Amino acid sequence: MQKPDVLFSEEQIRTRIREIGSQVGAEFEGRELAVIGLMKSCLVFMADIIRSIPLDLSCHTLRVQSVREEGEGTSRTEIAYSATIPYEGRDILLLDDIVDTGITLNFLLDHIKEKKPRSLKVCALIDKPGERKIDVHPDWSAFTLDAAPADRFLVGYGLDHAESYRGLPYIGTVPRSAPAAEGRKITLAPGN
């Protein structure tokens, strides 16, 4: 597995998470917050951010997927997994790993707004405003990349390339041509 180039260090991430947690806490002071995270890439981000928000909150997860329409060459976004989430009348904080085109985020915002929450805010780990196709913006983002390298994948801190690199404590990049790791290999001592 190729070692990623560090883009945002563990300390930079920790600092931004504390800052955002404090800001979210001030925004929703005295209210109970429902935090909804997108699986799987934002799970590490979600674990850290909920510990940094000084409020009583509940946690929920969603999984979305793009479904390609046969013969039409188009795709649509749909919810692939969702437990029962009590949206109505609640303050909702939606966590997303990367906001780039805005298509998925726009779909989710429309879906949640139909359920009549009291408020709905978005926090992204990484915002890439230069890649927007739909005009949506997170209320908070840990990091903004105005010009992300087109020839590299973002990995680490929950972000993956072919299910590898999620466990790195920092956010890095690997070349798009990098072969995906086949998993961890364990070598046992003779006799085991």
Residues labelled as active-site residues:
100
Closest-CA residue to 105 (of 120, 85, 117, 90): 120
What DSSP letter does each residue of 3-18 carry, written as one string?
PPEEEE-HHHHHHHHH
Sign of the torsion angle spanned by Cα atoms 133, 136, 56, 17: positive
Query: How far is residue 188's CA from residue 190's CA, in Å, rounded to a whole number?
Result: 6
Residue in the block written with tokens 């928000």: 53
